[in-house]
């Protein structure tokens, strides 16, 4: 079980690193958005980029004052409606996911 959690965390971190390198912050990392292909932690896919933010976008789809995400996995700066939500919020959420596994 611990080895599966480590594999899952590693795969999720790798996937988030790819998104973050492209300037995309997911903003809603939680267990239900981590899909295991054939129930294999090594085949993890991150789902639902519906509230993701692209850091270099010319316009934002969400207004300021909007809290987006799932509170149980949300970084403090995200919960407090900060405009400074970046890739670190996804890392925080991933850690929360793995600690509840």
| pTM listed for this prediction | 0.81
Q: Kindly name the residue from 28, 40, 48, 86 that is annotated as catalytic.
A: 28
**pLDDT exceeds cutoff 70 at 30:** yes
Name the 3-class secondary structure at 6: helix
- Domains of the chain with CATH codes: 2-48+67-99 (1.10.510.10)
**pLDDT exceeds cutoff 90 at 44:** yes
The pLDDT confidence band at residue 15, using thresholds 50, 70 and 90, is very high
Name the 3-class secondary structure at 64: coil
- Contact present, 50 and 70 (Cβ < 8 Å): no
Known catalytic residue at 28: yes
């Amino acid at each position: 079980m611990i080895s599966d959690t480590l594999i899952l965390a590693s795969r999720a971190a790798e996937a988030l690193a790819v998104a973050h390198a492209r300037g995309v912050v997911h903003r809603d990392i939680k267990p239900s958005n981590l899909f295991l292909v054939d129930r294999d932690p090594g085949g993890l896919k991150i789902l639902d980029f519906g509230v993701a933010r692209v850091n270099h976008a010319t316009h934002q789809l969400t207004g300021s004052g909007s809290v987006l995400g799932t509170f149980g996995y949300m970084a403090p700066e995200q919960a407090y409606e900060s405009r400074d939500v970046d890739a670190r919020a996804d890392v925080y959420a991933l850690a929360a996911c793995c600690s509840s596994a």
